[in-house]
């Protein structure tokens, strides 16, 4: 595995701060620790992401969760590295806002509203 893939894997799935974030978002829905430990790559994480047992908006949002979590982790990491920002503990709220923003755009394209 190339070094940059190992860094991405650590940042998005193995880092203790990332694990906290995954738990904040998914806690109680699936065993996220077991799920993350069972994935050896980001691709595998996305391919194995479980289906939500319902239809409607909840199922649509559920599909976006891994992308939103990883997007916020990546943006946050860039702010720390490039803008010298400190760790932000309100990440879960940002992920939820990102999910609603993406879902709203998705629903508008489908004319469901």
27 compared with 12, residue with greater pLDDT: 12
Which domain range does residue 79 map to? 3-110
Q: What angle do CA 14, 15, 17 make, to 5 degrees?
A: 130
**Could you read off the pLDDT of 96-111 as tens digits, one per residue?**
777 777 776 655 555 5
State residue 113's pLDDT score.
43
Structure tokens at 4: 């940059």
Three-state DSSP at 12 gives helix
The answer to whether 62 and 4 are in contact (CB under 8 A) is no
- Domain total of the chain: 1
- The pLDDT, as a whole number, for residue 38 is 93
Mean pLDDT of 54-79: 84
Inter-residue contact 99 to 68 (CB < 8 Å) = yes
pLDDT band at 82 (very low <50, low <70, confident <90, very high): very high
């Amino acid at each position: 595995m190339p070094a940059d893939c190992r860094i991405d894997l650590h940042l998005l799935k193995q880092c203790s701060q990332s694990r906290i974030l995954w738990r904040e978002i998914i806690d109680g829905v699936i065993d996220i620790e077991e799920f993350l430990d069972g994935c050896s790559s980001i691709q595998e994480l996305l391919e194995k992401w479980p289906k939500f047992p319902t239809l409607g908006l909840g199922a649509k949002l559920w599909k976006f969760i891994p992308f939103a979590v990883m997007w916020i982790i990546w943006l946050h990491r860039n702010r720390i590295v490039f803008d010298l920002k400190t760790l932000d503990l309100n990440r879960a709220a940002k992920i939820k806002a990102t999910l609603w923003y993406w879902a709203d755009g998705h629903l508008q394209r489908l004319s469901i509203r």
